[in-house]
Amino acid sequence: MSSDWDGYSTEECDLLALPNCSQEPVLPSEKEVIERLCDSGILSDVKVFEALKLSNRGLAIWPLPSGLAINSLGASAIALPWWKASHESGALLPSHYETAQIMQILQMEVDTRVLLIGPRGNWWTEILLRLGANEIHVVEANTERRRFLEMNWKDRGLDLLAINHGCRVTFHDADWLDINRMSDDGEVWDRILITGACDMMPTKLFKTLRKGGVGLVPISPDGSPAIKCITPELDGGLFVRTVTMWMVDPLNSRIQRRMFPNREQRGVFADIHGRSKVIDTSWNIPEQACLRDRAGPVRLLDAMDQIWNEMGLDVNEDEIDVQVADRLFRMGNVIHNIGMFDYAAEHFGASFHLHPSAEAATMIAWTYSIMGNDSEAMAWCRRAIETDPTLGDPWNDIGALMLSQGTVEGAMVWFRAAVQAERSLNPGHPWSNMARAHLMLKNHAAAFFAAQSAVNYLPEDHELQMLLDELGAELC
């Protein structure tokens, strides 16, 4: 029996007959991202909504390397560095999603006195200011980082904004954080926000909360930080509730020593110090950055981590633009699987425009297809093939679209091209589609062999296994 592709050539695929792209997905504005959070019900606090709209994550990120420009990068969901050493503990800016959650949990009010331990650039400090704080004390243990924050605060005119809002903002070293002094002097806080993970509850610090105050700290005795929300009780105790997981970096060891002044120090913070080692790599965002600063249930975080790692760009270069394009692509895939298709297409589009790849173009096409725009899906499949014809997925996706439109014979030539491609993100899909096409043409023997090849790649596809069993029984 001759195979379906004996003497076959991709010249049978009429690429020029496909439409050209009419839409170029790009990252939205930060305001649009915030409005989407509101529309989805994630952001319900009007004050937080307005404060986020007035702030700008993009202005808080570390400058991009010379010659590299990415429009609306601050609106993306990827972790972005606010500091030149992105591997350093607490050096990344959380996304709008995490920021909205944290700020809502804090329940900020007008004229609140805030203690912020471990700032995230000046972005969160600005948001707290806009939410009504009249006094913010920022604790940053690293001298160079603290000086940068102070200079950046003035350079961006945030010092004038603070004056206009009647808010005093002061930056401190870790030595200023004297818990015993605060307790002895009767110092009180309305809000305490700690953005790095502690291995135990800093109870004495939270005892300085005013009645009606709110404290927030990630606790990670077992390495998986959970957000603890602390409120004072009438009897002088503290009510602590666990909100959700928040995969933050460990809090600076010097700050932890100041928060636990009576604790035996030797060896306690060794692991934290090791994980916080500074590597001056600027925009060289770490490969495992997907979960850094992510908040959510354990199952969601595990799924995000799995999706992030299962598919990336097929590149070997170490250039920053390629790395950022890969991060945007991976995050687009995560968002796609969550069901936020518009936002996913925008991440894929940003990845493609930064570093054109067949993978990104294919995922844009797939997203348009799911949203019911088959013409644009076809066009982006064409763009993917024109970018790199060695990737089999866009060939398969064109065939799948044609098959759904009833053009069975026409679809078959694209499936044949897909299985002959040098590489594929999903090598079992064209074989599965080819089996379906052969069934529609009543070619049961050919359908059996195609399904058999598909099962080799998709052993857990129960429907495909049932089809193979049925076809095998018919041929016996």
Superfamily of domain 10-23+296-475: Tetratricopeptide repeat domain (1.25.40.10)
Between the CA of residue 344 and those of 47, 138, 289, 365, 371, what are the distances in Å? Answer: 28, 35, 18, 11, 12
Contacts 24+ apart (CB under 8 A), 310-317: 311/359, 311/425, 313/351, 313/355, 313/357, 313/359, 313/360, 314/357, 314/359, 314/391, 314/423, 315/355, 315/357
The answer to whether the beta carbons of residues 443 and 428 sit under 8 Å apart is no
Name the nearest CA neighbour of 51 among 214, 142, 167, 211: 167
Q: How much is the pLDDT for 283?
A: 59
Q: What is the dotted CATH code of the domain comprising 38-275?
A: 3.40.50.150
Under 8 Å between Cβ of 169 and 136: yes
Rounded CA-CA distance 52/186 in Å is 33
Radius of gyration of the chain (CA): 27
* pTM: predicted TM-score of the whole model, two decimal places: 0.90
Contacts of 209 (CB under 8 A, 6+ apart): 188, 189, 190, 192, 215, 230, 231, 232, 238
Residue 55 φ/ψ, nearest 5 degrees: -85, 175
In the chain, ranges of CATH 3.40.50.150 domains: 38-275
Q: How far is it, in rounded angstroms, from Cα 64 to Cα 46?
A: 32
Helix extents (H) in 199-243: 203-206
Q: What is the pLDDT along the chain (476 residues), one digit of tens a residue?
A: 344 444 455 778 999 999 999 999 999 999 999 999 999 999 999 999 999 999 999 999 999 887 788 999 999 999 899 999 988 999 999 999 999 999 999 999 999 999 999 999 999 999 999 999 999 999 999 999 999 999 999 999 999 999 999 999 999 999 999 999 998 899 999 999 999 999 999 999 999 999 999 999 999 877 689 999 999 999 889 999 999 999 999 999 999 999 987 764 444 443 333 333 333 345 555 555 678 899 999 999 999 999 999 889 866 667 888 889 999 999 999 999 999 999 999 999 999 999 999 999 999 999 999 999 999 999 999 999 999 999 999 999 999 999 999 999 999 999 999 999 999 999 999 999 999 999 999 998 999 999 899 999 988 888 888 888 888 777 76
Structure token digits, residue 305 = 């981590």
Residue 216: in which H helix or E strand, if any?
A: strand 209-219
- What stretch(es) of the chain map to CATH 1.25.40.10? 10-23+296-475
Pairing of strands 295-296, 168-172: unpaired
Given strand 189-194, what is the order of strands in its sheet?
Answer: 168-172, 133-139, 112-117, 189-194, 209-219, 226-232, 238-246, 295-296
Q: Which residue has the tokens 């763009």?
A: 383
Distance of CA 197 to the CA centre of its chain: 19
Looking at residue 11, its pLDDT comes to 73
